[in-house]
């Protein structure tokens, strides 16, 4: 574990002339808490002054996705949009983050004494920003939820493909199992539907049972994962890749033949319970659980299996148990993500869970970075938002994104942020005067 | 009996496409140890190149410049499509895969996927969404033999596919180049020390694989004459299945597995209701690989697998 | 620090001046129409036809100097979004059109798998939407804000069954369809039901399927031939039909082949050639021998894009014109989106006997049109000839 670089100027010095290097070193002194505050300030600024400012700059409305959707469609709005972005996001965020750096740094150090409290404070700030940001537009609200779900999918696939080093193609299948199970449960119990008839329970209870439906979806997906986990004892690498691909084809064909859930016509009427708080909460739980999992002994066993199965076996790693746990675990979270996805879109059909979805999820994992929780967060959020932002390019969007990915892979073959441990306590801690005590806390992580 | 034989004939034709595509896939896969997920789309590119060459040649003929008989057009189309698609294949290797030679193999797989999507969308963006029809270069005649109907195109496709497979097998086993390729499959890092130019060899491997994909593309155009940008997507994934089913390092195995895949798909549709085809066919493959985890002709997993 | 601020402020003011000058505010409000089309994904041709027809409609409006509503001319703007043929992307596109582009009404998506989620969004956000081509009953069911321009599977299936019975007196039918795609599957099932109602159970002797993107149908066709069926009904898209015809003929199937409105593209004849001559299919209109507005549309589309419009283009054209008629009938544009959208929806639901190029339409309670079907025969020169008129029961 490295300590904070000592040569960094510890005290924000605003009195002297500002130079670029100094500014950068100043920014490095801001703890995560400060950035969260800055982000909240930016979002607040947009909330309060966004619309009048946009109108004053000659824009028609607030640029929702960082201005991409405006600038790509009408180049004449580029100057206005850029100024808007600087005025609304950059300046308030940087100003607040810098101005409060001293306070937040002390606060972060204080908070770290009670890790749970620190988490709660950080999450609350983060959620507040996201909530305000998404609340400004229904479009953001939808895209934001889809992006969070993509993070869950990416992260769970990374457990198998990154940490365990297999090439699994079965994620669309797991997602389908979870999506259909959760949908059938909620529709059967809480919705008036022409296939399943009147609700069995009062719909008002629904939102409370929704987590149960999601967990059930995850469990069914995990059960399905046995079909690929057991062959993985003997088959490895490429052969396992084909087994998992066959699994995806089988699941898709299965749902095409299940008339009760609509066959290829799809299944609809899922109640609209997957709001932003729900999706956010599940994503946070997913990240926390997976992060703990990959940093546990079992997680290290995954890496051992990847780097040398025979050696791992020799060092008393139970490879079978490791593989089964990894697959079931990944499938569970893919299933939960699938259930959330079904309730966000309110419609699913088997064709959604085919090779196209597979290519998308794989792209997010490898783009973000193998063997890295932060990488998966970045990959899921980044690719979803980016592909949404490029929507105005129509057909060319799907030329630009893959070319960009080929470029990324050629330069960083394991992804943008690969093989990095996600140490939450280190992230939440102060930036200066890092003490031994805080490191001990983080080591327990 | 005739009914069953008819299905065998159908399966032979369908299987020969899987075999041809899997062959090219397996070429690259065996030598360089990478999933070339762009292969299905190289097959698409090959079919389109063949289409343009063939229509160009036919237009020349009808303009009176060089009137060629149709069989000559077919041969020329095949040769030109192979050559041009090989160039495309070598470009893909140079741009996409060479930088990744020491990277985890799965990363190269992603590059392949992305190159494939680029080809598909570029085709869509440049040529439009219209379907293209491949001109029939051979007058199709149906023969009725003992109640089984066979067309001359079917016979030609199956025979030429088999010949190409044998030729490739001989090439890999008998020639110096083939020996170098097999050596690369064993250890790509030691082979250069023996004086084998691995960059040239990798390019050659890709050229060969892509050339085979082009042959498959042109024949596909003859048998199923509707071309569209996404035609290689599913076929590519299925060739992946066939190549792996055959086993690593076995070119002939991949070809046989291609035929097997064709037979499984056709006969499942014959015996069971055809709606359940994918469900049963891929469950069978899942089971096969569960009990034969190295494919039919592959060697067991060894420590030299990277990643 | 202060200097940076001054610079930024100056920059901001300059930008504000420049862009507000360009935006030309103060002009009368424009009418914005959204198009949610499948430009990429597995059915790009559908999106392309839809986009082309919509742009042709816009060109007409622009040539007329705008859309006249309540005695005032308004500029019209089209917002075309790609839904990638993916449900989640279609929902995002619809949300973007409604909340960002602030369109008055949305035309599309076409395929049911994207029209259902997009319809959910439009209905919740209270924005009128009309799908040119979605045949799944659930697209419009219980959604007062969602309409469609095509007829449903449960109408077309029986139409074909009755036509074949009356025309040929056949009793044994075979069906070949794509099990993974909802339109062919729905139509195949409704046809089977109608046929067995007429001829008794078991009269559909072969009911065979394949999966989207399959190119080889020999196993299914061999089974169909062996079943002794008297004709083949295949409600497939026009790019699969030529392959089905070619393989069926090569395997020795010489009986009639009948199709549905998804055959209705000139591409079919181009791709299948003489193999398609003499086949029948049910559709909305016959291109050859078309009269009046229909003929005019076909000719103009052909002149503009170099191809005969397919059913998606024709239905999109009608959808655009239904939106236009509804806006006109609404009487005035208040500028308040919610009010205007409500007025357009009500006007659309009240449309009586709309004279479209694909037939005369009146919407039911559910927002589905009641219209007649036409049986078309592909002539020996590859023209789509009017053969018979089948009106709703």
**Which among A239, A256, A413 has CB closest to B107?**
A413
- The predicted structure's pLDDT at residue A276: 94
Q: Cα C372 to chain center, whole Å?
A: 16
The pLDDT of residue C393 is 57
pLDDT at site C9: 55
Mean of all residue pLDDT scores within chain A: 86
Among C233, C251, C283, the domain boundary falls at: C283
Listing DSSP states for C43-107 in one string gives: -HHHHHHHHHHHHHHHHHHHHTTSEEETTEEE-EEEEEEE-TT-HHHHHHHHHIIIIIS--SEEE
Please report, for chain B, the start and end positions of each structural domain, with discontinuous segments joined by +: 2-291
What's the rounded mean pLDDT across residues C109-126?
92
Residue B186: its pLDDT value, please? 77
Cβ C111 vs Cβ C186: under 8 Å: no
Across A156-165, A308-317, C198-207, least confident range:
A308-317
In this structure, the answer to whether residues C252 and C296 fall within a common structural domain is no
Q: CB-based contact (8 Å) between B167 and chain A?
A: no
Is there a contact between A236 and B303 if contact means CB atoms under 8 Å apart?
no
Within this chain, do residues C233 and C119 fall inside the same structural domain, yes or no?
Answer: no
pLDDT the model gives residue A17: 54
- Give the DSSP H/E element, type plus range, for residue B299: none
Determine the pLDDT at residue A19. 67
- Give residues 11 to 40 of A whose Cβ lies within 8 Å of C: 14, 18
SS (H, E, C) chain A: CCCCCCCCCCCCCCCCCCCHHHHHHHHHCCCHHHHHHHHHHHHHHHHHHHHHHHHHCCCCCCCCCCCHHHHCCCHHHHHHHHHHHHHHHHHHHHHHHHHCHHHHHHHHHHHCCCHHHHHHHHHHHHHHHHHHHHHCCHHHHHHHHHHHHHHHHHHHHHHHHHHCCCCCCCHHHHHHHHHHHHHHHHHHHHCCECCCECCCCCHHHHHHHHHHHHHHHHHHHHHHHHHHHCHHHCCCHHHHHHHHHHHHHHHHHHHHHCHHHCHHHCEECCCCCCCHHHHHHHHHHHHHHHHHHHHCHHHHHHHHHHHCHHHHHHCCCCHHHHHHHHHHHHHHHHHHHHHHHHHHHCEECHHHHCHHHHHHHHHHHHHHCCCCHHHHHHHHHHHHHHHHHCHHHHHHHHHHHHHHHHHHHHHCCCCCCCCCCCCHHHHHCCCCCCCHHHHHHHHHC
Chain A's closest residue to C112, CA to CA, is: A265
Answer whether residue A3 shows pLDDT above 70: no
Q: Is the pLDDT of residue A25 over 80?
A: no
Q: What is the mean pLDDT of residues B43-71?
A: 88
pLDDT at residue number C94: 95
Same domain, C303 and C317: yes
Any domain includes C5? no
- Whether A388 and chain C come into contact, CB under 8 Å, resolves to yes
Question: Are C40 and A264 an interchain contact pair (Cβ–Cβ within 8 Å)?
Answer: no
Q: Same domain for C88 and C143?
A: yes
pLDDT, tens digit, 9 for 90 and up, residues C260-310? 888 887 788 888 888 889 899 988 877 666 777 888 898 899 999 988 888
**Contacting subunits of A (3+ beta carbon pairs below 8 A):** B, C
Q: Are B293 and A403 inside 8 Å of each other by CB? A: no
Predicted ipTM > 0.90? no
- C208 - beta bridge partners? C176
Determine, yes or no, domain membership for C174.
Answer: yes
Instruction: Kindly state whether residue C13 falls inside one of the protein's structural domains.
Output: no
C356 and C237 both lie in a single domain = no
B293 and A415 within 8 Å at the Cβ level: the answer is no
* Residues 375 through 434 of chain A touching chain B, CB cutoff 8 Å: 395-396, 398-399, 401-403, 405-406, 409-411, 413-415
Contact C337, C102 (CB under 8 A): yes
Q: What are phi and psi of A2, to 5 degrees?
A: -95, 150
Percent of chain C residues past pLDDT 90, beyond the cut: 44
Contact A395 C22 (CB under 8 A): no
Q: What per-residue confidence (pLDDT) applies to C2?
A: 52
| C38: CB partners within 8 A, 6+ apart | C44, C46, C47, C50, C82, C83, C84, C85, C109, C110, C111, C114
Give the tens place of pLDDT for each residue, C148-175. 998 888 888 888 999 999 889 999 999 9
Cα within 13 Å of Cα(C95), Cβ side: 22
Contact C220 B269 (CB under 8 A): yes
- Closest residue of chain B to C242, computed from CA coordinates: B226
The answer to whether the beta carbons of residues B85 and B45 sit under 8 Å apart is yes
| The pLDDT value given to residue C21 | 43
Nearest C-alpha in C relative to A73:
C79
Q: Which residues from chain B sit within 8 angstroms of residue C42, using beta carbons?
A: 230
Asked if B136 reaches chain A (Cβ–Cβ under 8 Å), the answer is no
Helix (H) or strand (E) holding C265: none
Q: Do B226 and C226 touch (CB under 8 A)?
A: no
**Residue C129: pLDDT over 70:** yes
- Smallest Cβ–Cβ distance between B124 and the set A395, A402, A413 belongs to A395
Q: Given this model, what pLDDT does residue C72 score?
A: 86
Domain co-membership, C134 together with C165: no
Residue reference for tokens 């015809």: C245
Whether C390 is covered by a domain: the verdict is: no
Which of A172-176, B149-153, B250-254 tops mean pLDDT? A172-176
pLDDT at A134 over 50: yes
- Does one domain contain both C116 and C221? no
Model confidence at B302: pLDDT above 50: no
- Mean pLDDT, range B283-306, rounded to an integer: 70
Do the chains contact at B149 and C252, CB–CB below 8 Å? yes
Q: Are residues C166 and C275 in the same domain?
A: yes
Instruction: Give me the mean pLDDT over the B163-190 stretch.
Output: 85
In this complex, which chains have at least 3 CB pairs below 8 Å with chain B? Answer: A, C
CATH class given for the domain over B2-291: mainly alpha
What is the tens place of the pLDDT at every residue in A269-305? 899 899 999 999 999 999 999 999 999 988 889 888 8
> The domain containing residue C353 runs over which residues?
31-150+292-371
Amino acid C24: pLDDT: 42
- Judge: A349–C182 Cβ closer than 8 Å, yes or no: yes
Query: What is the total count of domains within chain C?
Result: 2
Taking CA atoms, what residue in C is nearest to A398? C40
Residue where a domain terminates, one of C263, C283, C303: C283
Domain of residue C101, CATH code: 3.40.50.2300
Q: Do C42 and B230 touch (CB under 8 A)?
A: yes
pLDDT at B64 over 80: no
Q: Do A253 and B279 touch (CB under 8 A)?
A: yes
Taking contacts as CB-CB distances below 8 angstroms, the residues of chain B near C47 are 129
Final residue in a domain of this structure, among C262, C283, C304? C283
Please provide the average confidence, as pLDDT, over all residues in chain C. 86
CB contact under 8 A, B128 and C48: yes
Are both C261 and C296 inside the same structural domain?
A: no
Chain A residues touching C14 at Cβ < 8 A: 79
C316 within some domain: yes
* Same domain? C275 vs C159: yes
Measured between beta carbons, the chain A residues lying within 8 angstroms of B236 are: none
Whether C209 maps to a domain, the answer reads yes
The percentage of residues in chain A with a pLDDT greater than 70, rounded to a whole number, is 92
As a whole number, mean pLDDT of residues C50-71 equals 91
How do residues C21-40 score in pLDDT, each as one tens digit?
Answer: 444 444 567 899 999 999 98
Residue C277 and residue C158 in one domain: yes
- Tell me if chain A has a CB within 8 Å of the CB of B230: no
A437 pLDDT above the threshold of 60? no
The domains of chain A, with CATH numbers, are 23-135 (no CATH), 138-414 (1.10.3470)
Whether C249 and C129 share a structural domain? no
Instruction: Supply the pLDDT for residue C233.
Output: 95
Instruction: Tell me what the mean pLDDT of segment C90-97 comes to.
Output: 94
- Structure tokens of A299? 């997680």
């Amino acid at each position: 574990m490295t300590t904070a670089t000592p040569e960094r100027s510890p005290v924000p010095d605003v009195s002297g002339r500002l130079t670029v290097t100094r500014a950068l070193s100043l920014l490095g002194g801001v703890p995560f808490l400060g950035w969260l505050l800055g982000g909240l300030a930016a979002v607040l600024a947009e909330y309060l002054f966004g619309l009048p400012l946009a109108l004053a700059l000659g824009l028609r409305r607030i640029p929702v996705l960082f201005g991409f959707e405006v600038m790509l469609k009408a180049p004449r709005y580029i100057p206005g949009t850029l100024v808007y972005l600087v005025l609304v996001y950059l300046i308030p965020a940087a100003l607040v983050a810098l101005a409060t750096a001293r306070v937040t740094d002390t606060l972060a150090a204080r908070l770290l004494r009670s890790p749970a409290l620190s988490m709660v404070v950080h999450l609350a700030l983060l959620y507040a920003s996201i909530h305000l940001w998404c609340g400004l537009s229904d479009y953001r609200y939808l895209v934001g939820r889809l992006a969070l779900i993509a993070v869950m999918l990416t992260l769970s696939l990374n457990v198998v493909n990154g940490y365990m080093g297999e090439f699994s193609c079965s994620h669309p299948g797991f997602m389908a199992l979870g999506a259909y199970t959760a949908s059938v449960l909620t529709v059967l119990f809480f919705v008036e539907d022409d296939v399943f008839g009147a609700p069995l329970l009062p719909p008002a209870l629904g939102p409370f049972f929704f987590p149960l439906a999601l967990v059930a979806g995850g469990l069914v997906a995990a059960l399905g994962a046995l079909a690929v986990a057991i062959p993985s004892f003997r088959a490895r690498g490429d052969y396992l890749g084909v087994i998992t691909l066959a699994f995806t084809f089988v699941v898709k064909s299965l749902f095409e033949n299940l008339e009760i859930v609509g066959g290829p016509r799809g299944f609809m009427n899922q109640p609209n319970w997957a709001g932003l708080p729900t999706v956010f909460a599940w994503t946070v739980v997913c990240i926390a659980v997976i992060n703990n999992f990959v940093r546990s002994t079992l997680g290290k066993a995954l890496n051992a299996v990847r780097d040398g199965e025979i050696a791992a076996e020799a060092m008393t790693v139970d490879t079978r148990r490791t593989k089964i746990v990894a697959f079931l675990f990944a499938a569970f979270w893919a299933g939960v993500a699938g259930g959330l996805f079904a309730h966000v879109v309110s419609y699913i059909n088997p064709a959604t869970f085919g090779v196209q979805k597979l290519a998308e999820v794989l792209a997010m994992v490898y783009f973000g970075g193998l063997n890295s929780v932060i990488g998966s967060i970045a990959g899921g959020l980044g690719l979803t938002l980016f592909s949404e932002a490029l929507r105005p390019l129509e057909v060319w969007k799907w030329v630009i994104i893959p070319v960009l990915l080929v470029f990324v892979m050629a330069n960083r073959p394991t992804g943008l942020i690969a093989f990095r441990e996600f140490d939450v306590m280190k992230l939440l801690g102060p930036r200066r005067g890092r003490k031994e005590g805080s490191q001990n806390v983080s080591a327990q992580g | 009996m005739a009914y069953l034989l008819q299905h065998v004939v159908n399966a032979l034709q369908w299987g020969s496409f899987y075999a041809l595509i899997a062959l090219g896939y397996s070429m690259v896969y065996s030598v360089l140890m990478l999933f070339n997920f762009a292969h299905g789309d190289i097959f698409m590119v090959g079919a389109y190149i063949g289409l343009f060459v063939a229509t160009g040649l036919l237009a020349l003929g009808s303009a009176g410049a060089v009137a060629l008989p149709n069989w000559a057009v077919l041969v020329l189309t095949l040769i030109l499509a192979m050559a041009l698609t090989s160039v495309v294949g070598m470009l893909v290797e140079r741009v996409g895969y060479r930088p990744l030679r020491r990277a985890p193999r799965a990363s190269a797989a992603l590059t392949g996927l992305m190159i494939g999507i680029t080809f598909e969308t570029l085709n869509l963006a440049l040529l439009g969404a219209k379907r293209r029809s491949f001109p029939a270069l051979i007058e199709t005649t149906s023969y009725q033999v003992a109640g089984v109907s066979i067309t001359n195109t079917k016979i030609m496709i199956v025979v030429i596919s088999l010949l190409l497979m044998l030729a490739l097998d001989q090439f890999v086993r008998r020639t110096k180049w083939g020996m170098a390729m097999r050596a690369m499959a064993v250890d790509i890092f030691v082979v250069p020390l023996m004086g084998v130019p691995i960059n040239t060899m990798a390019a050659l491997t890709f050229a060969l694989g892509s050339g085979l994909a082009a042959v498959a593309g042109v024949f596909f155009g003859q048998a199923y004459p509707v071309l569209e940008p996404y035609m290689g997507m599913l076929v590519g994934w299925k060739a992946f299945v066939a190549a792996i089913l055959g086993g690593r390092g076995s070119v002939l195995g991949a070809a046989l597995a291609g035929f097997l895949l064709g037979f499984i798909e056709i006969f499942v549709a014959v015996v069971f209701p055809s709606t359940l085809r994918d469900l049963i066919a891929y469950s069978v493959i899942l089971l096969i690989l569960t009990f034969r985890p190295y494919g039919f002709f592959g060697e067991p997993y060894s420590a030299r697998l990277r990643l | 620090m202060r200097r940076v601020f001054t610079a930024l402020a100056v920059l901001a003011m300059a930008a504000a001046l420049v862009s507000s000058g360009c935006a030309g505010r103060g002009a009368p409000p424009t009418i914005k129409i959204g198009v949610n089309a499948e430009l990429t994904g597995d059915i790009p041709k559908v999106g392309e036809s839809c986009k082309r027809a919509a742009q042709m409609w816009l060109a007409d409006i622009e040539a007329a100097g705008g859309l006249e509503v309540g005695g005032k001319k308004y500029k019209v703007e089209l917002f075309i979004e790609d839904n990638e043929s993916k449900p989640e992307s279609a929902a995002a596109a619809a949300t973007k059109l409604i909340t960002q582009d602030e369109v008055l009404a949305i035309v599309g998506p076409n395929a049911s798998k994207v029209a259902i989620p997009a319809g959910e969004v439009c209905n919740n956000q209270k924005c009128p939407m009309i799908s040119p081509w979605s045949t799944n009953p659930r697209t419009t069911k219980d959604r007062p804000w969602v309409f469609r321009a095509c007829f449903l599977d449960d109408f077309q299936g029986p139409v074909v069954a009755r036509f074949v019975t009356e025309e040929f007196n056949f009793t044994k039918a075979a069906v070949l369809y794509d099990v993974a795609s909802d339109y062919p599957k729905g139509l195949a099932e409704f046809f089977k039901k109608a046929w067995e109602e007429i001829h008794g159970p078991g009269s559909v002797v072969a009911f065979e399927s394949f999966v989207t993107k399959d190119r080889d149908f020999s196993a299914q066709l061999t089974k169909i031939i062996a079943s002794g069926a008297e004709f083949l009904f295949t409600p497939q898209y026009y790019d699969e039909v030529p392959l089905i015809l070619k393989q069926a003929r090569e395997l020795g199937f010489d009986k009639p082949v009948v199709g549905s409105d998804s055959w209705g593209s000139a591409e079919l004849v181009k791709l299948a050639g003489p193999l398609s001559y003499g086949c029948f299919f049910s559709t909305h209109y016959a291109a050859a021998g078309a009269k009046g507005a229909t003929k005019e549309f076909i000719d103009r589309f052909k002149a503009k894009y170099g191809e005969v419009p397919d059913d998606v283009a024709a239905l999109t054209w009608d959808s655009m014109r239904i939106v236009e008629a509804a806006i006109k009938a609404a009487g005035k544009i208040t500028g308040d989106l919610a009010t205007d959208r409500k007025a357009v929806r009500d006007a659309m639901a009240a449309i009586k006997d709309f004279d479209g190029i694909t037939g005369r339409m009146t919407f039911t309670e559910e927002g589905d049109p009641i219209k007649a079907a036409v049986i078309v025969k592909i002539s020996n020169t590859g023209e789509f000839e009017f053969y018979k008129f089948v009106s709703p029961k």
